[in-house]
Each structure stands twice: as structure tokens, then as C-alpha cells.
Amino acid sequence: MKTKKIEGFMQGVFLVSALTSVLAIVLICVFIVAGGLPFVMEYGFGNFLLGKNWTPSNTPAAYGILPMIFGSVSVTLGAVVIGVPIGVLTAVFMARFCPPKLYKVLKPAVNLMAAIPSIVYGFFALQLIVPLMRQFVGGTGMNMLTVMLLLGIMILPTIIGMSEAAIRSVPESYYSGSLALGATHERSVMRVILPAAKSGILSSVVLGIGRAIGETMAVVLVAGNQPRIPDSLTQGVRTMTTNIVLEMAYASGQHREALIATAMMLFGFILLINGIFMLIKRKEAIR
């Protein structure tokens, strides 16, 4: 009798926990949409999404976020180009080639990278990458290339951790069968194990994209933060997240509504990325 009461109580605890999570995401959706959608409808979806000018202090003010969308998408793609090859190859090394003694050092180091606060990454970039950029490409050193390098480093723990788990989850019979057919260790890993783990690796890339596009504090320190579409990789850029952080403290009225609408667009990007991730996981489950 007492055991049934405890079980019933714990079921209630689990149910409340689950509903709390759902309620939190529903409240976030309601707040973002209720705060941003009226402004978008009033200002015009095309003017807001495709406008190239962000001048909230002018009369009349302009709230086009195309430069920020371009900034978010471009630095994210750059981070993927830099971080994915390094992350996947590191995961392959750790799962199949790494000596046990080195693995005991490498694995905690990767886990530590995941635990480092983003503002610390920002200071690291400010002290090391920005001076190097200033020396080699000129200018202030705060540009798109700096942000891409920084985000490429920041997404490494996500890609390495998930890719390594995906590679290790491939049945050992795949590897043994490949060796039995005469393939070398390297060929078996790269031609058999790695393709078999591609769903998990792709999932890691999608989550890495989500990390990169949503990053704020590290990016705001090194991006230059000019609200315009840059002509080259060596010019400053502003992302949607940094646009919100930089101006929300003093914004009011329509300016504040425009920033919440920017958050709504960013939320839409995150939902799209999560949708892709869930689709990949569903296909993986079906297989």
C-alpha cells in the first residue's frame, strides 16, 4: 500500500516536471510571437525581413534586419566549414585510432571545452585571434573571419562528442567483416564505419549549427557589430543575437518591438534547425 502511494507520488512529480518543460516553451512562444508579430504586421514583413537599413535613431526610423540575417547565416556557415572537418576527424581519431593513454587526456579536454562559458571564449578570441587578424589582414581585427574561427572552435565539443558516440555505436561486426574481406584498418574505418555512422554525425552538425547561430556573448566581443552587409570577410558584421543584446537595454516603443520581432525570427531559425534534427533522428530510428 505504501509502495503504491510512493509510486503514485513519483508519477505525479514526473508529470509536473514534464508539463513544466512544455509550459516553459509555450510561454516563450507566446511572449515572442505576441511581442513581435504585431510590429511585423504593421511595419511590413518584406520591409522588416528584406530591409537593408537598421537606423532606429533616425526620423523616420528604419528596421530592416537583412544585414543581421546575413551576418548570422554567413558566420554560421563559416563556422561549419571550419569546425565540421576538424570535429569529425577528431572524433574518428578518438574512436578508432587514439592510443588509450592519449585518450585519457584528450577526452577530458574535449569535455572541458564544452563546459567553458561562452564569454571566456570571447576573451580568448579578443586576446589571441583579433590581434592575429589585425596583423595579417589589417583593420581592427574584429571581422567576419574572426567570428567564423571563434564559432568554429566553439562548436567542436558538440560535433566531436556526438560524432564519437555515433562512430562507437556502429556494430563491431561491420569492422570485422571489412577486415575479413581484406581491407586495412584505415580503409575499414573510413569506408565502412564512418558511412554507417553518418546519421549521428549529421545530427552533431545540425546541433553545432544551432549552437553557432544562437551564440551571443562571445560574438559580440569580436564581430565589429556594424549593422550592414559586409563586402568581404575582413569587415565587421552584426548577427541577430548581438543586435538584440546591444540595443535592448535602452530600446523603447517601436524600437523595442523591432528587437522582439528580431528574436521571433531567430526563434524561427532555431525551430527550423530543430525540425531538421528531429527529421534526421526519425529516419535513423526507422532504420
Residue pLDDT, tens place only, 234-278: 898 999 999 999 998 888 888 999 999 999 999 888 888 888 777
Alpha-carbon distances, residue 68 vs 53, 86, 183, 258 (angstroms): 10, 27, 49, 13
Average pLDDT over residues 3-24: 87
Are 203 and 161 contacting, i.e. CB atoms less than 8 angstroms apart?
no
Q: What is the pTM of this model?
A: 0.87
- What cell does 43 get? 511595419
What pLDDT does 20 receive? Answer: 92
287 pLDDT above the threshold of 80: no
Report percent pLDDT > 70 for the chain: 98
How high is the pLDDT of residue 145? 93
Mean pLDDT (whole number) for 51-75: 91
Q: Which H or E run includes 62?
A: strand 62-63
pLDDT at res. 90: 95
Rounded distance, CA 253 to CA 156, Å? Answer: 40
What Rg value do the Cα atoms of the chain yield, rounded?
Answer: 23
Beta bridge partners of 63: 54
- Joined grid coordinates for residue 59: 526620423
Q: How does residue 102 score in pLDDT terms, banded at 50, 70 and 90?
A: very high
Q: How far apart are CA 58 and CA 238, in angstroms?
A: 19
Q: What is the pLDDT of residues 123-138, one digit of tens each?
A: 999 999 999 999 988 8
What mean pLDDT comes out for the span 116-121? 91
Query: H or E element: which one contains 158?
Result: helix 156-168
Taking 70 as the threshold, does the pLDDT of residue 1 lie above it?
no
Confidence at residue 58, expressed as pLDDT on a 0 to 100 scale: 85
Mean pLDDT of the chain: 89
Cell of 193: 564505419
Residues 201 and 163: beta-carbon distance below 8 Å: yes
Which pLDDT score, from 0 to 100, does residue 7 have? 85
For CA atoms 114, 118, 119, 121, the dihedral sign is positive
Is 70 exceeded by the pLDDT of residue 284? no
Task: Please check the confidence at residue 79 and state whether its pLDDT lies above 90.
Answer: yes
What's the grid cell of residue 84? Answer: 565540421
Of 31, 67, 61, 32, give the one whose Cα is nearest residue 49: 67
Residue type, 284: E
Average pLDDT over residues 127-152: 91
